[in-house]
């Protein structure tokens, strides 16, 4: 295995594991500091730190949006504000392990989106994998009981997580419109409007009396969680993901995203949570179906390339 590919593989896998662990970390912190302030800090601080780095790496001209102002701002609000807020609001109403399994469905959500809005129907094998993955999610959420639910609040939370995951799919697919921009530039210039939108929403929530500005004691009580979510979960993991993605390609990176629920379940087990067998089976169905579809698409793509080369 080429050393560059191996290093990229490790970088992407590390980023995914970091993201998987940050879900239960954030869930625990919400008991002390509300999710709105946590999210605002988590994106505002990295945006301020990464902005001067972008200027040094690519020059001051890279800080200008130019004609891409509108799409960059819209994508930033959707991906860096709407997605994390919806996921965190949903997780606050549900569970971290539900969040991990649902977020891992993003490739399936993307395929469904292309089918609904662009008329690009996925192959029958992909449709079967998507159906199997959703069965796995249902097993995790319901614990195998078709007439459930632990609470209607939890069900609403899971639906919000789905919407949050869909927002990230929109962001990921939409950034292709920012042609000519580097990964650093896309990240920073979309993170800024996303962070600003999150700060504004947080202030509205404060002024309406729904939440209260956390005290220094409260922030200090979740200092390590906040540090993890901000510097490890956003800055480090995002850079590791972008670094590795360039070296192993998007197909391999997508395959490794399936480690996210694995890392979340492992961390929750480390915390002492005991999973029911049906939950493990459901998570395994999600991971295995997404891995199978990824391998199928890679094989299909390789076969098409061979056929094109032979003609």
Mean pLDDT, all residues of the chain: 84
CA distances from 6 to 55, 170, 241, 244 (A): 30, 29, 14, 9
Least-confidence region, from 41-50, 75-84, 151-160: 151-160
In this prediction, residues 26-45 reach a mean pLDDT of 93
Calpha distance 110→173 (Å, rounded):
8
pLDDT of residue 144: 65
Q: What is the pLDDT of residues 270-304, one digit of tens each?
A: 888 777 788 788 888 877 887 787 777 777 767 76
Residues with Cβ < 8 Å from 100, sequence gap 6 or more? 20, 23, 260, 261, 263, 264, 265
pLDDT of residue 53: 92
Calpha distance 176→137 (Å, rounded):
29
Which residue did the predictor score with more confidence, 47 or 286?
A: 47
pLDDT of residue 106: 79
Calpha distance 57→109 (Å, rounded):
35
Q: Does 101 have pLDDT greater than 90?
A: no
- For residue 45, how many C-alpha atoms fall within 13 Å in the half-sphere facing its CB? 17
Q: Does 147 have pLDDT greater than 60?
A: no
Calpha distance 165→110 (Å, rounded):
10
Q: Specify the residue for token string 């998570």.
A: 283
Q: What is the pLDDT of residues 49-96, one digit of tens each?
A: 999 999 999 999 999 998 899 999 999 999 999 999 999 999 999 888
Q: What is the CA radius of gyration of the chain?
A: 20
Q: Is the dihedral of CA 94, 95, 96, 97 positive or negative?
A: negative
- The pair of structure tokens assigned to 101 is 């399994």
Are the C-beta atoms of residues 261 and 161 closer than 8 Å to each other? no
* pLDDT band (50, 70, 90) for residue 126: confident
Domain boundaries, the chain: 34-222+280-310
pLDDT of residue 54: 92
- For residue 70, how many C-alpha atoms fall within 13 Å in the half-sphere facing its CB? 1
Nearest to 204 by CA among 47, 81, 68, 45: 81
Q: What is the 3-state secondary structure (H, E, C) of 206-224?
A: HHCCCCCCCCHHHHHHCHH
Q: What is the pLDDT of residues 103-120, one digit of tens each?
A: 888 777 877 887 877 787
Percentage of the chain exceeding pLDDT 70: 91
pLDDT of residue 214: 94
pLDDT of residue 33: 94
Q: What is the 3-state secondary structure (H, E, C) of 240-266?
A: HHHHHHHHHHHHHHHHHCCHHHHHHHH
pLDDT of residue 146: 57
Are the C-beta atoms of residues 131 and 291 closer than 8 Å to each other? no
pLDDT of residue 307: 64
In this prediction, residues 191-196 reach a mean pLDDT of 95
H or E segment to which residue 291 belongs: helix 277-310
Residues with Cβ < 8 Å from 306, sequence gap 6 or more? none
Are the C-beta atoms of residues 104 and 255 closer than 8 Å to each other? no
pLDDT of residue 264: 87
- The pair of structure tokens assigned to 281 is 């089976």
- Residue 120: exposure state from Cβ atoms within 10 A (0-12, 13-18, ≥19): exposed
């Amino acid at each position: 295995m080429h050393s560059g590919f191996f290093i990229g593989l490790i970088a992407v896998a590390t980023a995914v594991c970091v993201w998987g662990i940050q879900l239960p970390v954030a869930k625990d912190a919400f008991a002390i500091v509300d999710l709105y302030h946590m999210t605002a800090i988590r994106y505002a601080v990295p945006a301020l730190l990464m902005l001067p780095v972008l200027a040094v790496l690519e020059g001051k001209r890279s800080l200008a949006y130019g004609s891409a102002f509108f799409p960059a701002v819209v994508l930033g609000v959707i991906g860096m504000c709407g997605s994390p807020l919806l996921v965190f609001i949903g997780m606050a109403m549900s569970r971290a392990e539900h969040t991990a399994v649902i977020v891992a469905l993003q490739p399936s959500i993307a395929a469904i989106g292309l089918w609904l809005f662009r008329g690009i129907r996925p192959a029958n094998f992909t449709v079967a994998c998507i159906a199997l993955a959703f069965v796995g999610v249902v097993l995790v959420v319901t614990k195998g009981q078709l007439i459930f639910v632990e609470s209607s609040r939890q069900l609403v939370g899971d639906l919000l997580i789905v919407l949050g995951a869909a927002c990230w799919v929109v962001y990921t697919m939409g950034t292709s419109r920012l042609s000519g921009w580097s990964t650093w530039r896309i990240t920073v210039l979309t993170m800024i409007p996303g962070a600003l939108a999150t700060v504004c929403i947080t202030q509205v929530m404060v002024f309406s009396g729904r939440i209260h500005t956390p005290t220094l004691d409260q922030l200090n009580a979740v200092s390590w969680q906040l540090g993890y979510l901000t510097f490890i979960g956003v800055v480090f993991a995002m850079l590791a993901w972008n670094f590795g993605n360039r070296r192993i390609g998007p197909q391999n990176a997508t395959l490794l995203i399936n480690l996210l629920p694995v890392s979340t379940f492992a961390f929750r087990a480390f915390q002492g949570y005991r999973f029911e067998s049906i939950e493990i089976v459901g998570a395994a169905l999600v991971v295995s179906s997404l891995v199978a579809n990824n391998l199928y698409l890679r094989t299909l793509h390789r076969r098409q390339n061979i056929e094109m080369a032979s003609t």
